[in-house]
Structure 1
Amino acid sequence: MTGILWEWAEMAVRWLHVIAGIAWIGSSFYFIALDLSLKQRAGLPEGAGGEAWQVHGGGFYNMVKYLVAPARMPDELTWFKWEAYTTWLSGMGLLVLVYYLQAELFMIDAGVMELSPAMAVAVSIGGLALGWLVYDLLCRSPLGRSDTALALVGFVFLVALAWLFTLVFSGRGMIMQMGALIGTMMVANVFLLIIPNQKKVVADLIAGRTPEPKLGQQAKQRSLHNNYLTLPVIFTMIANHYPLAFASRWNWLILAVVLVIGAVIRHFFNVKHKTGKGPLWTWGAAALGLAAIVWLSAQPATEVEAAAAGEVDFAAVENVVLSRCSMCHAAEPLWEGITVPPKGVVLETPAQIRAHARAIRMQAVVTHAMPPGNITFIEEEERRVLAAWLAAGAPAW
């Protein structure tokens, strides 16, 4: 019963995370699009930067944006913050349930660095805090006066961190860590700068003071960062289900390309919202980036697959699978904490092993996604046995 409750707890938190993320991303995309579609006209209220007319749900809407603040505090004001906070809190809950409490499976790879679960969690939490602090200092430094220069340095910073985390965590752990870091940066922008700055503006209005323009400018810059980071962070949320993304030898470089793809796609839509026509070159750049990712992911994690040759002994194949995989991939898993075979894959008979040959190739030969963190210490020679069997057409004899 405990295992069932644990599974549903994880499911509930994941569901909440997705729902909150949809709400946050939706409002973020909407307000960036609204901001870029504003047009000036004669007769706008004093201090207004532009207006937009929109139609939805059978009605017309007229939005006016004030560059700093209106002349007086409105009677009612809607704040957009709980979507961001709920997304982060549920994401951290998922991080704890899936990764921190199962660090041996999903974070640690003894072949990368021998860590205790407590050490892995400590490095992860420290990395999140340090990553945010460095990013925040970059934004507040003179570099922050140039959006382009800040974006380039920020990109190098994130890619460097991804590479460093490949030296500490498993491939899955690195992707998870980078997703958590980018998400933490985004929500910290909301919690520690955007909302506080907006509250200062409200306080100034109530007190009859003129708000400082820089408060809105700082908030807008961080909001723009969140807008461009949204697509990459969504990639990290789903990448841990795809071994070609997280278990590739070049997983950190794949993430770097994803950062670029996400940025150019958002650039297309941002320009389109502003001018009515987005630059088509962005889609060409995104397609080239995707092609580069496919090519990088096709490179074997080691030379195992390339070296596959020789006679095939299915008894040896069966021995590798039963000794390294079947403690989890069994009708009744033996691994503590796993109550059902992952993804329903059972590898106990020759027929079952052959039926899942394609998955075995992807998970244990092309990539080293399985066993997770190489927890069962499968050796390179054993992967070569699997590779030779697969290269021969996965015969069941």
Structure 2
Amino acid sequence: MDAYLLDWANLLLRWLHVIVAIAWIGSSFYFVFLDSSLTPPEDGKLRKDGATGELWAVHGGGFYHPVKYAVSPPVLPPHLHWFYWESYSTWLSGFALFLISYLWSPSVYLIDPRVMDWAPWAAVTTALAFLVVFWLLYDLACRFLGQGERGDSKVGIAVALLVVLASWLACQLFAGRAAFLLVGAMLATTMSANVAMWIIPGQRKVVAALKAGLPVDPIHGQRGKQRSVHNTYFTLPVLFAMLSNHYSFTYASAYNWVFLVLIMFAGAAIRQFFVLRHGYKLGRNAHPWPYAAAGVVVLLGLIVWLRPAPVPAAAAPQAVSLAQVQAVMAQRCVMCHGEALQSKGVRLDSADALKQHAPLIYQQAVMSRVMPMNNATGMTEEERALVAQWFRAGAPVE
């Protein structure tokens, strides 16, 4: 019953997390598009009132005319929509999911003795420290390096180095699956902290100044814009990290941290293409196709790099019986894939089930070697070879 209820909590939290993440990313992408597509107002009154850009758009049978005031509008409207619940809801639901999926059972999900064999409390504490320490270092980089003409470039280099270091360290400490997810959670925490600690407080100061009839300091808008731009480049890397746990070939290699860094670079490069293409259409910059090309080339290189190598002939009996395979499954796999617990909807406690899932068993236990998870049940090389021989013989069940 406990496992059943935990599965329901996992399902509902994952569902909520996806919904609010779509809302947050969607609004973020829209405002980046909006900023890149604004043109100087044609109406003289708008320019006189301080408007810096406008856009005409058609959607859903109607026409829209958003206008941007870079510092402040001439009059503060009575109804002002704030964009922050999407961010906070995404982080809270994501952290709750991380809690019940990884932190609740660190010995299963966080710790891989082949990587580092340490106490569960230490693994959990270190995982939480990743979220906090990365944000603090990132925030310091923005504060002290983000000033001046080349401030954005300095911050970009510093953040890139921090991400590389964090990716390497996570993969040296945690199971590959957990390391990838942790790096994604680390970046997502920084994105939400940008909203909570800088973007929204800055906007509240602007609104308070307008209500008090005081001059508005443009620094709040500049800081908010800086953090919003960082958030948009974090988006695709975070989404990959969150999805990667479903694809074991991404985190199972010996150099998984290199793969993680490269694929995050590819995501950021492709996002840069979409950010700049709107400005290109308005004649503001050159065509940004090199960014998309760079991202695609990196992805193609990763596909070639991770292609499965030919598996040498296994040192197993020429003829493997169903009983031998069932004995291995019963000892190593059925506790998570049996009648009582059917992880991922997979059962391996019958001949028909073994036949049905034979390709999946071969891929997970022999090719990628990620199952049993972190080899918690101690599957031996001889047992993997036996499973491989059975599969190559056509996975007979008679």
TM-score, normalized by the shorter chain, greater than 0.5: yes
Q: Which amino acid aligns with 1:121?
A: V
| Selected match of 2:162 from 157, 166, 172 | 157
Task: Measure the CA separation in 2 of the matches of 1:153 and 1:313.
Answer: 57
1:240 aligns with 2:249: no
What residue in structure 1 maps to residue 331 of structure 2? Answer: 323
Unaligned runs of 5+ in 1: 333-339
Task: Measure the CA separation in 2 of the matches of 1:92 and 1:148.
Answer: 31
Deviation of 1:350 after TM superposition, in Å, equals 4.6
Cα pair 1:254 1:296 within 8 Å, conserved: no
Quick one: structure 1 residues 162 and 254, their matched pair in 2 at CA, closer, same or farther if it must change by over 3 Å?
same
Q: Which amino acid aligns with 2:292?
A: W
Name the TM-score, length of structure 2 as normaliser: 0.90
Name the TM-score, length of structure 1 as normaliser: 0.90
| Selected match of 2:267 from 262, 279, 295 | 262
Counterparts of residues 372-391 of structure 1 (less than 5 Å): 372-391=373-392
What residue in structure 2 maps to residue 16 of structure 1? Answer: 16
1:97 aligns with 2:103: no
| Selected match of 2:292 from 278, 283, 286 | 283
Cα pair 2:41 2:51 within 8 Å, conserved: no
What residue in structure 1 maps to residue 279 of structure 2? Answer: 274
Deviation of 1:155 after TM superposition, in Å, equals 2.0
Q: Which amino acid aligns with 2:318?
A: V
Cα pair 1:248 1:368 within 8 Å, conserved: no
State the secondary structure of the residue aligned to 2:246.
Answer: coil
Deviation of 1:199 after TM superposition, in Å, equals 1.1
How many equivalent residue pairs?
387
Cα pair 2:316 2:382 within 8 Å, conserved: no
| Selected match of 1:314 from 310, 320, 323 | 320
Cα deviation per residue 1:341-377 (whole Å; 9 max; x = unaligned)? 1222222345533432321222122223211122112
Q: Which amino acid aligns with 1:140?
A: R
Deviation of 1:152 after TM superposition, in Å, equals 3.0
Cα deviation per residue 1:194-214 (whole Å; 9 max; x = unaligned)? 111111111222222222222
Deviation of 1:171 after TM superposition, in Å, equals 1.1
Quick one: structure 1 residues 362 and 143, their matched pair in 2 at CA, closer, same or farther if it must change by over 3 Å?
farther
State the secondary structure of the residue aligned to 1:141.
Answer: helix
Task: Measure the CA separation in 2 of the matches of 1:313 and 1:109.
Answer: 33
Q: Which amino acid aligns with 1:139?
A: C
Cα pair 2:145 2:155 within 8 Å, conserved: no
Q: Which has the higher contact order (CA 8 A, sep 6+)?
A: 1
| Selected match of 1:88 from 82, 91, 104 | 91
Q: Which amino acid aligns with 1:267?
A: Q
The two structures, once aligned, show a CA RMSD in angstroms of 2.3
Deviation of 1:136 after TM superposition, in Å, equals 0.8
Unaligned runs of 5+ in 2: none
Counterparts of residues 55-70 of structure 1 (less than 5 Å): 55-70=58-73
Counterparts of residues 211-226 of structure 1 (less than 5 Å): 211-226=216-231
Cα deviation per residue 1:273-329 (whole Å; 9 max; x = unaligned)? 2222853333332322222222333356xx9x4464564352554443332112222
Cα deviation per residue 1:74-114 (whole Å; 9 max; x = unaligned)? 22211100000000000011011111112222111111111
Task: Measure the CA separation in 2 of the matches of 1:53 and 1:298.
Answer: 47
Task: Measure the CA separation in 1 of the matches of 2:216 and 2:2.
Answer: 55
Deviation of 1:241 after TM superposition, in Å, equals 1.2
Cα deviation per residue 1:175-234 (whole Å; 9 max; x = unaligned)? 121111011010000000111111111122222222222221111011011111111111
Deviation of 1:264 after TM superposition, in Å, equals 2.0
State the secondary structure of the residue aligned to 1:167.
Answer: helix
| Selected match of 1:167 from 172, 179, 182 | 172
What residue in structure 2 maps to residue 293 of structure 1? Answer: 302
Task: Measure the CA separation in 1 of the matches of 2:112 and 2:318.
Answer: 29
Cα pair 1:250 1:297 within 8 Å, conserved: no
Task: Measure the CA separation in 2 of the matches of 1:87 and 1:153.
Answer: 26
Task: Measure the CA separation in 1 of the matches of 2:327 and 2:3.
Answer: 29
Counterparts of residues 136-155 of structure 1 (less than 5 Å): 136-143=139-146, 145-155=150-160
Task: Measure the CA separation in 2 of the matches of 1:105 and 1:176.
Answer: 15
Cα pair 1:326 1:347 within 8 Å, conserved: yes
Cα pair 2:320 2:386 within 8 Å, conserved: no
Counterparts of residues 167-206 of structure 1 (less than 5 Å): 167-206=172-211
